[in-house]
A = this chain, B = another copy of it.
Amino acid sequence: MRSVAILGIGQTVIDEQWDKSIRDIAADAVIAVLHDARRESAEGVFVGNMMSGVINGQTNLGPLVADWAGLRGGDAVKVEAACASGAAAFRSGLMAVAAGELDSAIVVGVEKMTDRHPHEVTGALATAADADYEVDMGVSFVGLNAMLMRRYIYEYGWKHADFAPFAINAHANAMHNPYARLHQKISLEDFEKSAMIATPINLLDASPIGDGAAAVYIVPAENLLPGSRILVEASACATDTIAIHDRREPLFLSAAYQSARLAYQQAGVGPADIGVFEIHDAFTIMSALSLEACGFAEPGKGVQLGLEGAITPTGRIPVTTRGGLKARGHPVGATGVYQIVEVVQQLRGECGPTQVPGLRIGMAQNIGGSGATIITHILRRES
């Protein structure tokens, strides 16, 4: 199995891009990544996307995006794992390059969600839950996360405001990310006064949707000169039941535990070695559960990391350093690739006021459903 390196990154702003089709948005990111990688083409294109069939009336994004970006003819495919589609596509691209099948590939995550009515988008997001046993009973995706958050508060004795640091940190960091959807600092008071969506989740617990695309260019590491390469040290996918009621312990993300454990093994590291962790903070409760499952806090203690200031760029375990899903935005199938792009930006030292100092190793974790698919990647800068 060949080692794989990331040669370039590209991304679009996350916003309401009503003047662009999904193919335009994806092509913008592909063109940006070709520019960054100083390449003119790639042998394969892997598209991460969740809901183009439902929302955009378009399947088969592989050839659509390849053609529109000027790469007509080659290997191209779409990979889907709900909100983990971006990381799933990255992982598929890695396999093809690692196997020796391709010598270069572009992975692009894209989603265009904002030109449909919100109730249609809510319905499309609910397809990530269990259609027969959850959605048919009327629960929405936010509703499922609300039940997890309520259970967590009941079980461990925290109050809702204790989750505020996750949102405050994300919004503060997004101020310095020109690609972020939200550029708006928030306070504890803002958080507490925010509109309720599904008790106890309020507007500032939840990440905004958006239109956007992010891309990375990958090559065999052996094709680059050693020295300052960004290497993919680990890629691990684990799954769980889709329906939350089927799990023995709903507050334990077993797939996060399992995929992080495998990733640590592959990279030969542990939680203490991770300098930045781009988490899947779709809701503040997910931040707490991820940090716990990945070994950064004991069960029930995840929120404490926020209260202690450990999650800021200068803290012990910086998270959402470019704004996270909460403030950078969550174009669902693109999110996993944005996370990879952001870890690369950190490893390159391009993050200005939110740069984590002296960084060598970063981790990204993308979650599909309420913990059904969890994919963890660890990247390392050589020097």
Flag whether A51 is at the interface (Cβ < 8 A).
Answer: yes
Question: What residues on B are CB-neighbors of A127 within 8 Å?
Answer: 53, 57-60
Question: What residues on B are CB-neighbors of A77 within 8 Å?
Answer: 79-81, 88, 91-92, 237, 373
Question: CB distance A369 to B130 under 8 Å?
Answer: no
Flag whether A244 is at the interface (Cβ < 8 A).
Answer: no
Closest-by-CB residue of B relative to A374 is: B63
Question: What residues on B are CB-neighbors of A255 within 8 Å?
Answer: 73
Question: What residues on B are CB-neighbors of A349 within 8 Å?
Answer: none
Question: What residues on B are CB-neighbors of A235 within 8 Å?
Answer: 101
Q: How far is the CB of A316 from chain B (nearest CB, A)?
A: 30
Q: How far is the CB of A25 from chain B (nearest CB, A)?
A: 13
Question: CB distance A51 to B60 under 8 Å?
Answer: no
CA distance A75 to B72 in the complex (A): 30
Question: CB distance B75 to A59 under 8 Å?
Answer: no
Closest-by-CB residue of B relative to A4 is: B99
Q: Which of B23, B63, B101, B238 contacts A372 (CB 8 A)?
A: B63
Q: Known contacts A237-B75, A239-B72, A258-B73; is A81 also within 8 Å of B60 by CB?
A: yes
Question: CB distance A254 to B101 under 8 Å?
Answer: no
Chain A: interface secondary structure?
mixed
Contact with B along A1-18 (1 / 0, CB 8 A): 110000000000000000
CA distance A2 to B99 in the complex (A): 8
CA distance A241 to B23 in the complex (A): 12
Question: What residues on B are CB-neighbors of A223 within 8 Å?
Answer: none
Flag whether A197 is at the interface (Cβ < 8 A).
Answer: no
CA distance A43 to B369 in the complex (A): 21
Q: Known contacts A53-B53, A92-B95, A98-B101; is A238 also within 8 Å of B74 by CB?
A: yes
List 12 additional contacts besides A73-B238, A76-B373; criterion CB under 8 Å.
A51-B59, A53-B127, A54-B54, A58-B127, A60-B368, A60-B373, A63-B240, A67-B246, A73-B239, A73-B255, A73-B258, A75-B238
A residues within 8 Å of B by Cβ? 1-2, 21, 23, 50-51, 53-54, 56-60, 62-64, 66-67, 72-82, 84, 88, 91-92, 95-96, 98-101, 123-124, 126-128, 130-132, 135, 235, 237-242, 246, 254-255, 258, 368-369, 372-373
